[in-house]
Chains A and B, each alone.
Chain A
């Protein structure tokens, strides 16, 4: 078991460091591929310091966004605090994560219940997992030319294809139905990260899977971005930019309550749309959709 834990998603690393002498454990299967060596290269590395103590009083900071049940954000541009309600414990006991800037440094305060005691000793359950890791990455990716999209993705003959849509659109269904087809490598069935690279776009898998539990730490050059629609046949239709925007905006993780971060994320999205074709993929539940995709009708050659 490691003294710390390094989580690398889309070439961005979160170095989780707890109290001295207390190993940090992450047992969730979806995360295993994303645990990396501390010495491994990553484009960006954020140190997340974990402390086992009550969160400092942040009530003087205004609430900027309240999700209602899951978490809320306090503060402004210089200091942000993400707060979570505890399932158990005294009223008002919150977990919290203090962020400086766009999550350039993070301190997590969590209760002692996060320490697990087993026959081989004590360990700290990794608190930097969904949704905290996704929220931190929303900031880091905006600063580094990236976006999180509610999309399944695969590599088809080495070319990356992302299939975006809200819950119920068929992301996991599609990923399951084409899994195992020749040349198809599933990457994720629920959340894909897109990053501007060179003059193109690259996609990455994430540890946040859907029903199919597909969560691979793989990447591929993005060849096309498809918006899903279930229908009676398999059909691809190129979307003009206003329609592409209208279909994609609801399924992209943009912190709308953060104007500067939103501006950066929208600039990334505009660049993605300029570089990669966006299509509507109508599909029906059979593997024939792979043949339609393999023809790559969006490609000029």
Chain B
């Protein structure tokens, strides 16, 4: 019985063809998720209308 030997590292046998890595850019939008967009709450407290400083009145942002 003969044991099958694995190709030595770097020998070129059994290797997958090189594929150039693809750079993936994920666009993180702070205004979507970091409590920056206005939720259009009622009232007149600064906390309630964080977008008043830039006149944002849009709901659901």
CB of A255 within 8 A of CB of B34, answer: yes
For residues 45 through 61 of chain B, which have their beta carbon under 8 Å from a beta carbon of chain A? 45-54, 59-61
**Which interface class (under 10, 10 to 19, 20 to 34, 35 or more) fits A?**
35 or more
The B interface, classified by DSSP as helix, strand, loop or mixed, is loop
CB of A249 within 8 A of CB of B50, answer: no
A171 to chain B, nearest CB (A): 8
Chain B's closest residue to A97 (CB) is: B47
**Which interface class (under 10, 10 to 19, 20 to 34, 35 or more) fits B?**
20 to 34
Q: Mark A133-152, 1 if CB is under 8 A from B, else 0.
A: 01100100000000010100
Chain A's closest residue to B24 (CB) is: A246
For residues 64 through 119 of chain A, which have their beta carbon under 8 Å from a beta carbon of chain B? 67-71, 84-87, 95, 110, 114
B30 to chain A, nearest CB (A): 6
CB of A131 within 8 A of CB of B50, answer: yes
For residues 134 through 186 of chain A, which have their beta carbon under 8 Å from a beta carbon of chain B? 134-135, 138, 148, 150, 166-167, 171-172
What are some 18 contacts across the A-B interface (CB < 8 A)? Answer: A27-B43, A68-B36, A69-B51, A69-B54, A70-B36, A71-B36, A84-B47, A114-B45, A125-B43, A127-B47, A129-B47, A131-B39, A131-B47, A132-B35, A167-B37, A249-B26, A251-B33, A252-B33
